[in-house]
Structure 1
């Protein structure tokens, strides 16, 4: 059989070019010098960088030797091939970006909306406030743990199937929660809903990186961050009035999420195409082998990809390794994790605070979360200006040009905390507390985007591991904070409890300033970031 001309045009390079740096969207680049990495971690790194199984290394080398004689032909995209995700039309790219980000809204809204249903849930299930809070914490814990395992599956199966499978799982777990007859079922359902939801949400950043060039990613990433963070506010505003309606209450909060997740599952096959280049090239190579009956056609990733077991091992261990050994990852993750913990502390405590201090009902309390939505959009506007600063100063400042807005956020963070803390008096209008939430959300939005963009620039081919490490720490803090928030405010009051948070935020103000000042020197001494600094720009 003869391959069609369009398919045949994909095959361009033989094994003679195998020593070239591979496309970083398909596989990481060449191994760093051995002297720069400790011996214990080098083996793990070798598995990932070259995508070989240690136990099969000799077999792969023998296979490569045989292929040299047979002139193995690697299937690759030409620069203008429309099937390359980087060459999708802008309309298609934005359809994929918006659809993927929509799932982030659903998963974020589920966390806050759940908390607004505590009153009716504890009554119907004869549960305590703390037991209901455990359900909130378990949802976030699922977000922290499962992506370390499940993100590797996109290497093997592509992104679109993972969106569909995890979306179905998330839908079923919300149904389980809606039908629960005891609090234990709710807690289990919440953990599994977070686990399934996080697996899809964790891929959104990678999906954006699949289809947008580095200089184009600022706006799509900001849109993603806006939708992800504003989702908490959107969910709370809606859930407050659902909880206020006697014939709906907490179960309908879950059913409405089931409906929206169902709509997302319908949109995925319509609006989204597969964006993982390695998976697409593997499919095309199989098609060419079938059409031509020539088994020399291969996708490069077929020879370089590790086994799924090895990928899972690396994705579980490397993020933790980077989190505890890389100063930039550790410090930035600590800052973002503390801010994330405060967000979930507020989600759990805003309702009781507004009811106690100002006598709000549940619907009015939910409306107060509008401040979160508005804060995210103001943060988005600031981030758009940050993109202009980045374009101007990146040639001289490098990745640190991402941090100008983060320096502003470092100041706004404690300001928002103090404003909220000292407006929690009946004599102070309720708008004061709302303004504190608003200022804090501006800071949180900027920090959230800065973490993604700065670590991605600093760690290049290691960015997914660095971001997974900060995501792990961030979501663990989000799970822990609500568990002690009620007790903290009961002992210290809302004034002093939130003031304590503000004082800790003050201690963290220097973080972005130090990185802006000494970031290049810190990265130069890093085992991983230093390798990225010496790579050509096109391979970072």
Structure 2
């Protein structure tokens, strides 16, 4: 049915059309969400699985700890750079083409790291591995927005976020177990990453459909022209000029433009970057607390990361508890997304995060029972994951078609902080001590607690200033 004044040849979704990803069955959407979660897990696991091997790599290549820690930091810097390419590509060519080839390259560069003979090749392959591994991190949340309505998307993102955050928390434990096996060693941390990435990529190759609406409508227009012989059918996606100049000036630059000119993207990115950076700080701090100070073996010293993971999983219940309230707000807004409805759990997460940091810092002493800092890690994991999930939901609610670029702008900033924090962790915590160093970070986290409340009060005003997501006041 054509609306008054509408172009009858402009291709759009018909009511209840099954080709529309929003109309796919719930079971099929869940299967797609599972695939997207697993590919995100594969990429995020690659960031930390090598962290227990830093000393072994340093010994093999003849470099100090200051250089070997770059194995983690350069991968995360790749996470910052990559989305600037993959997110606009997904909005130009679709989600599949922006994820599957990149995951193949991640697998190949992981093998390259595993077979490296010197530190230069290790660091180079890790950097490029991060660039290609960033594709699912920046695009999966946008793909979830393609298939799920706002009312239930929060639930889907909740379980996806467990996969994204679970990788960095489980990676050190897996890496430690591989490292202590005399028949395996540090190279197998990357071989396992490659095997996992190849396995999931094969699954995607056969079972992951295209989910991006404009690309699907473009194909529909092409099909209608072919079937009817009427060349008048069209879709705006076909009019996007694809040339090196437009790709650079309009597509690749979009995330940076959004980060620097969109108030909501800037605010969310600054808040998310701090908590995300601290997650990667634990990769260096936990070995100091549990291996150096308490004398635990590498594998046992990695078990406290399970505390972080338990917290990550516990965050699921906090976020799900907000779904009923968000659904009510959505109904009151006549089905329009309400980003500010994501803020109450974010506020809870901010409090949990600050408590966890102070608690961990002042119970990390070896004379205090180990269960106390591990329980503090649960609070850190829960607080981080709640904040992370709601920031993603907020951006997808706000920017919708440009969600991938908005998320990649967020990923760009937070990844640079996440790359920097492991570099400063060792000198900071060795010179200041665990308690004072963690208290500084806890103080910053405490100062950030009002941020969600600011979003709740001024979020609508900030969104009204957006060039990419104008607010419909009707």
| TM-score, normalised relative to structure 1 | 0.81
Moved more, 105-114 or 386-395: 386-395
Aligned partner (choices 47, 51, 58) of residue 111 of structure 1: 47
Q: Any idea what the Cα deviations from partners look like across 1:476-506, whole Å, max 9, x if unmatched?
A: 1111111111111121112211111111111
Equivalent-residue separation in structure 1 for 2:264 and 2:93 (angstroms):
32
Moved more, 190-199 or 111-120: 111-120
Q: Any idea what the Cα deviations from partners look like across 1:277-314, whole Å, max 9, x if unmatched?
A: 222233333334344444333334213x2425424433
Equivalent-residue separation in structure 2 for 1:295 and 1:460 (angstroms):
30
SS in 2 for 1:73: coil
Equivalent-residue separation in structure 2 for 1:335 and 1:323 (angstroms):
13
Equivalent-residue separation in structure 2 for 1:291 and 1:520 (angstroms):
45
Aligned partner (choices 338, 343, 346) of residue 274 of structure 2: 338
Equivalent-residue separation in structure 1 for 2:19 and 2:134 (angstroms):
28
Aligned partner (choices 419, 429, 433) of residue 489 of structure 1: 429
Aligned partner (choices 114, 136, 140) of residue 178 of structure 1: 114
- Shift in alpha-carbon separation, 1:96–1:308, aligned structure 2, 3 A: farther
Aligned partner (choices 6, 10, 19) of residue 83 of structure 1: 19
Equivalent-residue separation in structure 2 for 1:121 and 1:15 (angstroms):
67
- Decide whether the 8 Å contact of 1:152 with 1:312 is kept in 2: no
Equivalent-residue separation in structure 2 for 1:292 and 1:463 (angstroms):
34
Could you tell me which residue of structure 2 aligns to residue 249 of structure 1? Answer: 185
Could you tell me which residue of structure 1 aligns to residue 135 of structure 2? Answer: 199
Could you tell me which residue of structure 1 aligns to residue 370 of structure 2? Answer: 430
Equivalent-residue separation in structure 1 for 2:77 and 2:356 (angstroms):
26
SS in 1 for 2:49: helix
- Decide whether the 8 Å contact of 1:152 with 1:308 is kept in 2: no
State the number of aligned residues.
469
Equivalent-residue separation in structure 2 for 1:79 and 1:308 (angstroms):
35
Equivalent-residue separation in structure 2 for 1:272 and 1:418 (angstroms):
43
Equivalent-residue separation in structure 2 for 1:442 and 1:325 (angstroms):
31
- Shift in alpha-carbon separation, 1:528–1:74, aligned structure 2, 3 A: closer
Equivalent-residue separation in structure 2 for 1:356 and 1:210 (angstroms):
47
Residue 80 of structure 2 corresponds to residue 144 of structure 1? yes
Greater Cα radius of gyration, structure 1 or 2: 1
Q: Any idea what the Cα deviations from partners look like across 1:436-455, whole Å, max 9, x if unmatched?
A: 21111111001101111223
Aligned partner (choices 229, 237, 242) of residue 307 of structure 1: 242
- Shift in alpha-carbon separation, 1:156–1:456, aligned structure 2, 3 A: closer
Moved more, 392-401 or 416-425: 392-401
Equivalent-residue separation in structure 1 for 2:166 and 2:463 (angstroms):
33
- Shift in alpha-carbon separation, 1:158–1:330, aligned structure 2, 3 A: closer
Residue 459 of structure 2 corresponds to residue 519 of structure 1? yes
Aligned partner (choices 423, 434, 448) of residue 508 of structure 1: 448
Residue 470 of structure 2 corresponds to residue 532 of structure 1? yes
- Shift in alpha-carbon separation, 1:103–1:224, aligned structure 2, 3 A: same
Where do 1:49-128 residues align within 5 Å? 73-128=9-64
Equivalent-residue separation in structure 2 for 1:288 and 1:519 (angstroms):
42
Equivalent-residue separation in structure 2 for 1:320 and 1:274 (angstroms):
26
Where do 1:377-456 residues align within 5 Å? 377-393=313-329, 395=332, 398-456=338-396
CA drift of 1:398 comes to 4.2
Aligned partner (choices 81, 93, 117) of residue 157 of structure 1: 93
SS in 1 for 2:234: strand
- Cα RMSD after superposing both structures: 2.4
Structure 1 portions without partners, runs of 5+: 1-11, 19-71
Q: Any idea what the Cα deviations from partners look like across 1:110-134, whole Å, max 9, x if unmatched?
A: 1121101113222222222111111
CA drift of 1:348 comes to 2.2
Runs of 4+ in structure 1 displaced over 6 angstroms?
Answer: none
Equivalent-residue separation in structure 2 for 1:87 and 1:182 (angstroms):
52
- Decide whether the 8 Å contact of 1:240 with 1:367 is kept in 2: no
- Shift in alpha-carbon separation, 1:96–1:410, aligned structure 2, 3 A: same
- Decide whether the 8 Å contact of 2:87 with 2:404 is kept in 1: no
Equivalent-residue separation in structure 2 for 1:316 and 1:222 (angstroms):
28
- Decide whether the 8 Å contact of 2:90 with 2:404 is kept in 1: no
Could you tell me which residue of structure 2 aligns to residue 220 of structure 1? Answer: 156
Equivalent-residue separation in structure 2 for 1:459 and 1:83 (angstroms):
23
Equivalent-residue separation in structure 2 for 1:150 and 1:467 (angstroms):
11
Equivalent-residue separation in structure 1 for 2:394 and 2:371 (angstroms):
34
CA drift of 1:388 comes to 2.0
Aligned partner (choices 464, 469, 493) of residue 409 of structure 2: 469
- Decide whether the 8 Å contact of 2:91 with 2:404 is kept in 1: no
- Shift in alpha-carbon separation, 1:401–1:299, aligned structure 2, 3 A: closer
SS in 2 for 1:239: helix
SS in 1 for 2:161: helix
Structure 2 portions without partners, runs of 5+: none
Equivalent-residue separation in structure 2 for 1:380 and 1:110 (angstroms):
23
